[in-house]
Structure formats: C-alpha cells, structure tokens
C-alpha cells in the first residue's frame, strides 16, 4: 500500500523519503519511484519495532525534507491465530509491529509535526480492529489498540495545527494477503492509495478504504457476540 | 502463486511451474493444468530509465501500456507493440511478439538488450546476446519454459508523438494485397491488412490496408478515454453468418470511402480491441479459437489462397482476419514465430466438431506450404506439426529448458514426456 501511495506521489513529481526494513525492497521501491518522477530525499533502512531508533529516523527525515507535509505509517504483520498460538515470538511481533511500534512512531511524528506547526499524520490501521474476532484476535487486537491510540493522539494534538488521520482498509490485494483467495470485496493497493491521499488532504479523520467498509463494519460491530462465536468468524 | 518482489523465491512444491503474465495468449501456452502458475503481474516496478541511451529497465510484470504512459511524454515510444497494449514485458518476450512494423523493426525481442532469468534452482542469470547467449536465444520466444523472466532492459525508440499519420486503402483481391504491401512496406513504418473472409472467387482477399507513419509533431496533451464494456457473456454467439457478413461489408465500405491521410491517436490505430473491455465475450460462452500462421515468401500467395478459400467455403465467418507481410529480419529467439513471408490471423467462434474439422484443413494447408503456426494463438495444432515446424531448433531449445517448468501446450505437443 505504501508503494502505491509513493507511486501516486511520484507521478505528481513529489518528494519523498522512504523507510523499510529490507534494504533490497527499499531500493526496488525507491528506483521505481524515481523513474516515475519522484524526488527521493533519502532511503533509510530501519526496523520500526526498535522504537529507540524512531527519534534519529525522524531527525533524518525532517532534515532531508525540510517541511514535511505527510507522515504515513504503513508497517504491519499478519499471521494466523494458530501460528501465533504455537509461536509466542510471532504473536509478540504481531502485537509489537502493528501496535507498539506503530503507535510510538505516530506519537513521535505527531510531536515533530506539531513543532513544525503543520502537516498530517496518517496511520494505516485496519477494519480488523473495529471488531476483534477469533479468526484474527492477535492482529485484530493490535489494530484495535493502534486505532484507539490514534484516536487519543488526535484529541491531544487538537489546536496544534496538524491532523491525525486513521485509515482502515478492508481486504487489499497486497503481499500481506498473497496467500488468501480473493473475492469481490477485494480492492487494489492503488485504489486504497487514492483514499489515503485524499484523506491526507482533507475530509474525515477516520476513513475506510474503500468507503463501503464503513457500512460493512457498522453491521459487523452490531452483531451479537453469540452469533460471532456461532459463525466462527 | 503471485510473485511480489524480484527477490522472492516462488518454487514451493513439486511444480511443474509456468510463469503467467496477463493471460492474453489465446491458447494453452499460458496454462499449466495440474501445475503451478507463477503470477508475475505484481512485478510491476520500473528500475531505471536512461534517456540519453534510450534504455528502459523494468520488472517483467510491467505492461506495455504502463511503459507507454511513462515514456511517451518524454518523447519515446516502444519499438514494437502487438495488437494489444495489455500484455506484460515477460509475455511479450516469451512470445517474441510482433507488430505492424515487423518489416522495419523486427520482433519485440530484437529490442531487448538483456534480461534476468530466475531458474527453479534459485539461480538468477542475467543473459544477453553477449552473455549466456544460448539461454537468451531460448528465452526470447521461449514460451515461459526456460525460467521466470524477472526484469529486462528494452531499447526505446525516439518518437516525438504517439500519433500516426494513417491511410486506408481498399484491396480488391489477394494479388492486390501483395502489390500494395510491397509498395507500402517501402514507404510506411506500419502496414496491416484486414481481409473479408466471406469474399470468394475473384473477390478472394478483398479487404482494406491500413498504413501509416509516426506523426512528426509536438503532441497535444493526452485526454483520458472511456472504455466500452461487454458486461456479460452472451448465451449464444451473435456472430452468425449474417452478422459477420453485415459487419464485414460495412467495414469494407466505410474504409473504401474514407480516403486520404488522417492523423489518428495511438490507441485506435494500434490497439482497436483494447477500447472494448472483455471483447471476447461477444463470442458467447463456448469461446473461440484463434488461428495464426506464417508462410514463406514463395508459398505465401498460393498458401493464403488455399487458406482463405477454405475459410470462405466453410462459412464459419471470422470476425478478425489480419494479414501482414513479415520482413526479412532474423528473429532473436530459437522458437520465435516471425520469419520472412506472410502471416494471417483469424478467429472462429467455437462450434464444436465443425470448427475442429476446419482447423484440421487449415493445419494441413500450412504444413503443405511449408508454413508455421503461432503457439501464442494455438490450442489445436497436432504434436507432430509442432515437432516438424521447429525440428531444427528444438535440440538447442531443449538443452536450455528449466527441468521444473512445463505448460499445457508443451505437454500437448510433447506427448509422453
Ligand atoms: C487483442 C490481442 C491482439 C494481439 N495481437 C498480437 C500481435 O499483433 N502480435 C503478436 O505477436 N501477438 C499478439 N497477441 C498475443 C499477445 O501479444 C501474446 O500472447 C503475449 O505474449 C501475451 O502476453 P501476456 O503478458 O498476457 O502473457 P501470458 O499470455 O500470460 O503468457 C504468455 C507466455 O509468456 C510466458 N510468460 C509470461 N510472463 C513471463 C515471464 N515473466 N517470464 C517468462 N515467461 C513468461 C507464459 O509462460 C506464456 O508461455 C495479441 C493478443 C490479443 C489478446
Ligand atoms: N492487505 C490487507 O488486506 C490489509 C487490510 C487492512 C490493513 N492492512 C494494513 O495495511 C498496512 C500495509 O500493508 P500491505 O497490505 O501493504 O502489506 P505489506 O506489503 O506486507 O506491507 C507491510 C510492510 O510493513 C513492513 N514491516 C513489517 N514489519 C516491519 C518492521 N518491524 N519494520 C519496518 N517495516 C516493517 C513489511 O516489510 P517486509 O516486506 O520487509 O516484511 C511490509 O513492507 C499494514 O499496516 C497492514 O496491517 C492491510
């Protein structure tokens, strides 16, 4: 998804700094963005679970870019509940990457933007966090935590010239979901990127991507617990 | 099995494996019954663009459409495009596709400087005419059987505008096709003829010839176009004898009346079917078969005469019949389809055994005239015909195959392997 956002920014001739954990993938996405017209301020390899590194990373980003318009937090890990049950280290990663790492990066970035007096922080959470179910409880709980954290951060930052936006994608056809069978509700990363960039510019602070997930989640949140359990959702 | 990064290793399980682009091939060469398809469409990143040397390096799942969108505003074009821009670079290389300028530019593969191939052993081999040349020659036109092409470097063409100065001429018969083609190929970058398959006797080969040259102009800013869609499969094919006859006559008349040179946009000239989403649905649920063959120069006229009269006599009206002369350029791939001579492409709604019998006659005609059938469009060629038409190249090709790769087509034309 982050790659799709970068491509749209690139085609408009924007300037970006990219952060990723895998140096090869970072280079591949960076080259692609450059050919498509982006100015690359910097490419930085970092494991965002290591929250101690966030400050240095943001220093470097603000130094390279000057004024920062948008900070997009897009890291995430998905794992099946049974795999997490078998392997607590994996469960820990799901909780840390999706919740702790993302939330602390959001906090640090929001403070920088507030100091700058402008800008938008966008965090990618998930519809999975709107109603946590047995089939994704580690991931869902982490995303629920991240959504809640952003909600609070938004209140805290009000009046400081910045926006905090939560994007909740539904099913997106990306590397994260490569192993899953696709149906009609699935969206392309590019479609979600469109929603992300529009939301970063103006409008609601909590957006679903695509928008129809707002209705779906309204219904899913209203389901009684016994039904969720019965349906093994 | 989708491939998202060129560093991914997609070879899990027993295989056999086959790369898959956008599935725009008509037959079973892009299918792998019982095996694993490695989907390459997400390998859609550009890697480098060297404007001074006109070289573009990109991943193999990038489409020709995406390339044109990137390079046209910079004053470049692709040296070769097939009749649809919705194909991947990997697919264009694996079929060594040709376009309306074959007589000038040769095949797509002729403009591929180098490519990176991922083999089932996990090995990554950069091959070109200079390095691993036998593997390069087997991979261009290699039907996806030598490994997964993960990226390629393509030589672009400098071209100020994507538009074409096009002319359309009426052709009275087959003789006139050859005369007009000869004259047009010398003066025009693009030539292609459209033949009315229902015309018989002395009208055999009646049709129209499109020819054109790249427009020399500063192009107007692009406009986005809306696509027309065929929203569902029609339960029966509307392409019965009557509709095809009417369509063909109208097409013929329209083009005979509009003479002169017109400056036309890129898409209607090169990619007429791309404007209609899922155009194949107009053939109904049973689908259709394509037929495309090449005939060597000496045999082209009698061969085409026999093929066209067989088609006209069968009355299995062809919606698209495209005729073109290939130039003398040697194709870079061992199994590349284009060779000097003429090529004709037809498609037929699937009417079961009647259609199959017609194909038997067409295949026999091709064989008799020393011609070859295009695997990208084939689902029915007999195994021995494939073996015969490629007998000189097959030993060298087999030596480069990836042993874990296969396709439905490959198994069909190599029974018992
Ligand atoms: C409307 C229309 C018009 C056409 N006009 C022409 C024309 O004028 N001239 C012409 O030559 N062809 C033409 N074609 C055929 C088309 O250009 C080819 O079939 C092309 O190869 C399809 O590309 P694809 O990306 O869809 O590949 P697919 O159909 O998915 O695959 C084609 C072959 O390429 C292999 N392959 C795909 N990707 C890779 C990869 N990354 N590495 C290794 N092997 C790979 C597959 O294994 C398969 O054997 C036309 C097709 C259509 C639908
Ligand atoms: N796909 C969906 O259906 C869907 C639905 C709702 C929400 N989301 C959320 O959308 C966001 C983007 O996901 P996506 O669909 O685009 O999948 P993706 O391609 O897998 O993107 C997630 C990225 O996060 C990176 N990452 C993971 N852990 C990291 C760490 N510790 N440090 C730095 N980077 C790390 C991954 O890097 P590596 O490639 O190196 O692993 C990967 O590139 C995620 O937050 C995801 O949870 C996705």
pLDDT per residue as tens, chain A (233 positions): 999 999 999 999 999 999 999 999 999 999 999 999 999 999 999 999 999 999 999 999 999 999 999 999 999 999 999 999 999 999 999 999 999 999 999 999 999 999 999 999 999 999 999 999 999 999 999 999 999 999 999 999 999 999 999 999 999 999 999 889 999 999 999 999 999 999 999 999 999 999 999 999 999 999 999 998 888 77
- Minimum CA distance residue for ligand 1 atom 23: B91
Q: Name the closest ligand to CA B94.
A: 1
In ligand 1, the atom with minimum distance to the C-alpha of B95 is 21
Nearest CA in chain A to B48: A35
pLDDT at B234: 47
Using the mean position of ligand 2's atoms as its centre, give its distance from the Cα of residue A9 in Å.
19
From CA A19, how far away is CA B152, in angstroms rounded? Answer: 26
Q: Residue B328: is its pLDDT beyond 80?
A: yes
Question: Does pTM top 0.80 for this prediction?
Answer: yes
Q: How far is the CA of B261 from the CAs of B100, B215, B267, in angstroms?
A: 17, 11, 17
In ligand 2, the atom with minimum distance to the C-alpha of A174 is 15
Q: Kind of pairing, strands A206-209 and B341-349?
A: unpaired
If interface means Cβ-Cβ distance under 8 Å, which residues of chain B face chain A?
A: 2, 4-7, 42, 45-49, 58, 70
Would you call B221 helix, strand, or coil by DSSP? coil
Find the length of chain B. Answer: 417
Would you call B164 helix, strand, or coil by DSSP? strand
Q: Kind of pairing, strands B164-171 and B207-214?
A: antiparallel
Residues 6+ apart with CB under 8 A from A146: A98, A99, A102, A103, A106, A123, A125, A129
Q: Which of A196-200, B65-69, B113-117, B253-257 is predicted with the least confidence, judged by mean pLDDT?
A: B253-257
Task: Note the CATH number of domain B17-159+391-413.
Answer: 3.30.465.10
The token pair at A49 is 């679970």
Would you call B171 helix, strand, or coil by DSSP? strand
Would you call B169 helix, strand, or coil by DSSP? strand
Q: Which residues line ligand 1 (CB under 6 A)?
A: B 18-25, 29-30, 40, 60, 82-84, 87-88, 90-92, 94-95, 97-99, 143-144, 148-149, 273, 376, 407
Q: Name the closest ligand to CA A19.
A: 2
* Pick among 3.50.50.60, 3.20.20.140, 3.40.50.720, 3.30.465.10: CATH of A68-231: 3.40.50.720
A31/B47 CB distance under 8 A: yes
Average pLDDT over residues B53-80: 97
In ligand 2, the atom with minimum distance to the C-alpha of A77 is 27
pLDDT, one tens digit per residue, over B188-230 is 999 999 888 888 888 888 888 999 999 998 876 655 554 555 5
- Interface mutation vs chain B, best among A175, A179, A182, most B CBs within 10 Å: A175
| Count of A-B CB contacts under 8 Å | 31
Q: Residue B368: is its pLDDT beyond 70?
A: yes
From CA B347, how far away is CA B367, in angstroms rounded? Answer: 19
Residue spans of the domains in chain B: they are: 17-159+391-413, 164-218+235-383
The token pair at B140 is 């261009």
**Locus of tokens 């070109």:** B128
Residue spans of the domains in chain A: they are: 68-231
What percentage of chain B reaches a pLDDT higher than 90? 70
Cα B166 to its chain centre, rounded Å, is 21
The token pair at A120 is 């938008």
B48/A32 CB distance under 8 A: no
From CA A157, how far away is CA A155, in angstroms rounded? Answer: 5
- Interface mutation vs chain B, best among A24, A27, A36, most B CBs within 10 Å: A36
Torsion angles phi and psi, residue B260, rounded to 5:
80, 170
Phi-psi region of B205 (alpha: psi -120 to 50; beta: other; left: phi over 0): left
Annotation says A212 is catalytic: no
* pLDDT higher at B320 or A15: A15
Annotated catalytic residue, options A137, A139, A208, A212: A139
Q: Which residues line ligand 2 (CB under 6 A)?
A: A 1, 20-22, 25, 47-49, 74-77, 97, 101, 124, 126, 169, 171-172, 174-177
In ligand 2, the atom with minimum distance to the C-alpha of A102 is 45
Which of B84, B98, B103, B374 for a ligand 1 pocket mutation test, highest count of atoms within 8 Å of Cβ? B84
Contact B310, B180 (CB under 8 A): no
Omega before B16 within 30 of 0, i.e. cis: yes
pLDDT at B319: 59
pLDDT at B330: 94
Span B164-218+235-383 CATH architecture? 3-Layer(aba) Sandwich (3.40)
């Amino acid at each position: 998804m982050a790659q799709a956002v970068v491509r749209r920014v690139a085609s408009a001739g924007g300037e970006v700094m990219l952060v990723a954990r895998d140096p090869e993938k970072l280079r591949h996405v960076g080259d692609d963005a450059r050919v498509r017209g982006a100015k690359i301020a910097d490419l930085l390899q970092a494991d965002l679970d290591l929250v101690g590194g966030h400050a240095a990373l943001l220093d470097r980003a603000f130094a390279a870019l000057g004024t920062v318009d948008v900070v997009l937090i897009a890291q995430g890990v998905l794992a099946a509940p049974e795999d997490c049950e078998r392997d607590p280290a994996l469960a820990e990663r799901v909780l840390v990457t999706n919740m702790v790492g993302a939330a602390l990066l959001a906090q640090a970035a929001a403070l920088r933007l507030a100091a700058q007096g402008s800008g938008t922080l966008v965090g990618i959470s998930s519809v999975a966090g709107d109603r946590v179910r047995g089939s994704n409880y580690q991931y869902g709980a982490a995303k629920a935590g991240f959504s809640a954290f952003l909600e609070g951060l938004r209140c805290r930052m009000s009046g400081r010239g910045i926006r905090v936006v939560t994007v909740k994608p539904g099913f997106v056809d990306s590397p994260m979901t490569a192993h899953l069978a696709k149906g009609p509700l699935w969206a392309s990363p590019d479609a979600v990127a469109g929603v992300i960039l529009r939301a970063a510019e103006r409008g609601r602070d909590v957006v679903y991507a695509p928008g129809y997930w707002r209705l779906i989640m309204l219904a899913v949140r209203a389901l009684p617990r016994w039904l969720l359990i019965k349906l093994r959702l | 099995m989708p491939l998202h990064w060129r560093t991914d290793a997609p070879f899990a399980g027993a295989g056999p494996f086959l790369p898959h682009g956008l599935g725009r091939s008509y037959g079973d060469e892009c299918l792998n019954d019982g095996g694993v398809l490695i989907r390459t469409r997400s390998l859609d990143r550009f890697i480098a663009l060297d404007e001074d040397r006109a070289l573009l390096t990109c991943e193999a799942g990038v489409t020709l459409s995406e390339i044109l969108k990137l390079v046209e505003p910079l004053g470049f074009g692709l040296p070769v495009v097939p009749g649809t821009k919705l194909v991947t670079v990997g697919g264009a290389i694996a079929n060594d596709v040709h376009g309306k300028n074959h007589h000038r530019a040769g095949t797509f593969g002729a403009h591929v400087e180098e490519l990176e191939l991922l083999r089932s052993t996990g090995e990554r081999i950069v091959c070109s005419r200079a390095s691993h040349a036998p593997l390069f020659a087997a991979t261009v036109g290699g039907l996806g059987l030598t490994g997964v092409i993960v990226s390629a470097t393509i030589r672009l063409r400098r071209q100020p505008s994507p538009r074409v100065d096009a002319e359309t001429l009426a052709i009275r018969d087959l003789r006139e096709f050859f005369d007009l083609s000869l004259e047009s190929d010398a003066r025009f970058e693009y030539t292609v003829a459209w033949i009315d398959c229902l015309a018989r006797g002395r009208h055999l080969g009646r049709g129209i010839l499109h020819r054109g040259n790249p427009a020399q102009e500063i192009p107007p800013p692009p406009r986005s176009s809306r696509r027309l869609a065929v929203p569902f499969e029609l339960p029966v094919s509307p392409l019965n004898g009557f509709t095809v006859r009417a369509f063909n006559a109208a097409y013929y008349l329209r083009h005979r009346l509009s003479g002169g040179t017109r400056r036309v946009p890129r898409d209607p000239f090169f990619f007429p079917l791309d404007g209609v989403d899922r155009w194949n649905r107009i053939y109904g649920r049973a689908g259709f078969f394509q037929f495309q063959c090449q005939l060597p120069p000496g045999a082209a006229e009698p061969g085409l005469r026999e093929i066209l009269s067989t088609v006209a006599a069968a009355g299995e009206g062809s919606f698209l019949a495209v005729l073109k002369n290939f130039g003398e350029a040697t194709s870079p791939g061992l199994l590349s389809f284009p060779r000097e001579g003429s090529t004709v492409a037809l498609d037929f709604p699937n009417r079961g055994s009647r259609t199959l019998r017609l194909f038997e006659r067409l295949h026999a005609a091709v064989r008799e005239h020393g011609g070859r059938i295009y695997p990208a469009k084939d689902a029915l060629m007999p195994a021995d015909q494939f073996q015969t038409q490629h007998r000189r190249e097959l030993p060298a090709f087999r030596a480069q195959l990836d042993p874990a790769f296969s396709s439905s087509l490959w198994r069909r034309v190599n029974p018992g392997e």
